[in-house]
Homo-oligomer: A and B are copies of this chain.
């Protein structure tokens, strides 16, 4: 038995350490390399399993793609297999929560052995191997090592909201490919909301006919996605949000609602008042039929009923509902929703499923098998767990809030209020989900909004809690991002294409210099700046720029080292070069911005970048001359830099805070 090094050993290594993400539980580096060449051959040593067979085929195809070496797995070559996959048991017919995903990967200079208890471990292990393969002076190779790995949490999800903006099947499939690459294991598919109902129901066909604008998945497509996900070790948990967030249902079936119809598909965002009528038996009859149908369509054991953000206004405005509440001694809307949830839970359970819902479903009368998903925070999760429920964290992982990967990365499902839970209660924290709500995304920019940031969440949910080195995370994230392109994700390409669309041509160099230092405004600032509807074009600069500016982050690091007096000579040169490029950029860019209706709003952003870069260069000059600056200049620049940090066109300049630091650290004469 090989003694394995801890994660810390790996982290301490240099920049050429394997860029694995999520970082495995245990890695011990060996000596030498396994070369990938035309002799590469996989052998499967386990009971015949269609999922492993297909995984091996996809693995060979992926390896062939990232190396450019044909690996046809042809029968006519007589060489021995050098990549041997063993697995001990069959997987569950329907992938189960907590099903074994562990694997052991041993790479030697001549052979690779991948051992797993279960087909899922095979799926995870081949992804790790793919991340190990890099080109070097000898060719494509993986370093000799031994990895023993298993996930920390059994529920590692990505939520995709297809209600507010529909995403075609090919988008969903490529996200599943990305998920597989970083070992996510749940697609939480948010399929209905006020803005649309996205699944074909054969029982209630008006749902898709009247409530989807023609944008929905057929049952055949759903089945295809479920199988595609299963092949990749990913469970598909559907969410049908109720009793609120349900306007689209009422377009087709107004009798389900608590208020008067008719209803229209909503074009705007935020909580709506329309809610199901929890007092009528016909509502439950409908839901029983509907959930029965959907339970057969989605084989997963869990069924997400939403349950969030019921405003209660329709309930308050309906005398019959008010009377019902008095009769049943339901004192608040919360009580009424609990009544609804109890009945709903029975229906879900009768169809063989376990109910899952957002924080608001929590109510002491619900059976403990119900799973709570916390969007409100770590405290809400801890509270649910303390009450005996299982739960998971969505809070902190909202990709639509345009926060940096590091911020998501450092939030742990067992952090905050959950940190003080006793170990047996911690067991009930199942994991978490990165959430891609779709108010501001389209099929063109969704990849850029999800990737690569979601990979940081994937690592948080898979890897050791103590893994918190943000710099090393970013180093590895960059490599993962590169590989995700070979998986078929368009997060890099779409950024360029959207800039080209704005500019009306491929000569986007100066536009890109600006765009690279910008980020969209954070959290919920966008809808506060401008009125948005589902049909509002999302083709502006704010829709193109990345959620996180690498240029801004890298510059901030250099400035920090400069102020800490740990800057290298290369840092100093790079800072000055970078500031010079930024200062001079507006001269080229200004006419470009004027020539496009969509770029005119960026004129002040470009001017600001130039002027603050000039300030930064001046500040460096003053530093070189001793660090003393004229007091008036200093104050003037600080005012300018404060102004530069105000949102403009829903965009933030991510260099301004660093230049402000440079100036603020000078001493007035």
Residues in chain A within 8 A of chain B (CB atoms): 38, 65-70, 72, 74, 76, 134-140, 213-215, 264, 442, 444, 478-479, 482, 485-486, 493, 497-498, 500-506, 534-539, 543, 594-598, 600
Select one of B66, B70, B503, B538 contacting A537, CB under 8 A.
B70
Q: What separation, in Å, do the CA atoms of A396 and B67 have in the docked complex?
A: 33
**Known interface pairs A134-B504, A596-B136. Does A70 touch B535 (Cβ–Cβ under 8 Å)?**
yes
Name A168's closest neighbour in chain B (CB-CB). Answer: B61
Q: What separation, in Å, do the CA atoms of A538 and B493 have in the docked complex?
A: 23
Contact between chains at A135 and B594 (CB < 8 Å): no
Determine the chain B residues whose CB is within 8 A of the CB of A597 once the complex forms. Answer: 135-140
Determine the chain B residues whose CB is within 8 A of the CB of A76 once the complex forms. Answer: 264
Contact between chains at A595 and B482 (CB < 8 Å): no
Contact between chains at B138 and A501 (CB < 8 Å): no
Determine the chain B residues whose CB is within 8 A of the CB of A135 once the complex forms. Answer: 501-504, 596-598
Name A77's closest neighbour in chain B (CB-CB). Answer: B535
Select one of B74, B485, B493, B535 contacting A72, CB under 8 A.
B535
Q: What separation, in Å, do the CA atoms of A67 and B503 have in the docked complex?
A: 11
Q: List 7 contacting pairs A-B, 8 Å CB cutoff, sorted by A.
A: A66-B501, A68-B539, A68-B543, A69-B537, A72-B215, A139-B597, A140-B597
Contact between chains at B486 and A69 (CB < 8 Å): no
Q: Within the complex, what minimum Cβ distance (angstroms) separates A429 from chain B?
A: 36
Contact between chains at A482 and B506 (CB < 8 Å): yes
Select one of B138, B442, B505, B594 contacting A68, CB under 8 A.
B442
Listed from nearest, the 5 A-B pairs whose CB atoms lie closest are A68-B539, A135-B504, A139-B597, A69-B537, A70-B535
Contact between chains at B74 and A136 (CB < 8 Å): no
Contact between chains at B497 and A38 (CB < 8 Å): no
Q: What separation, in Å, do the CA atoms of A607 and B493 have in the docked complex?
A: 31
Name A504's closest neighbour in chain B (CB-CB). Answer: B135
Contact between chains at B506 and A67 (CB < 8 Å): no
**Known interface pairs A137-B596, A597-B137. Does A485 touch B502 (Cβ–Cβ under 8 Å)?**
no
Determine the chain B residues whose CB is within 8 A of the CB of A136 once the complex forms. Answer: 504, 595-597
Name A485's closest neighbour in chain B (CB-CB). Answer: B497
Contact between chains at B138 and A69 (CB < 8 Å): no
**Known interface pairs A482-B505, A500-B482. Does A67 touch B137 (Cβ–Cβ under 8 Å)?**
no
Contact between chains at A535 and B38 (CB < 8 Å): yes
Determine the chain B residues whose CB is within 8 A of the CB of A506 once the complex forms. Answer: 478, 482
Q: Within the complex, what minimum Cβ distance (angstroms) separates A444 from chain B?
A: 7
Contact between chains at B543 and A594 (CB < 8 Å): no
Determine the chain B residues whose CB is within 8 A of the CB of A534 once the complex forms. Answer: 70
Q: What separation, in Å, do the CA atoms of A501 and B502 have in the docked complex?
A: 29
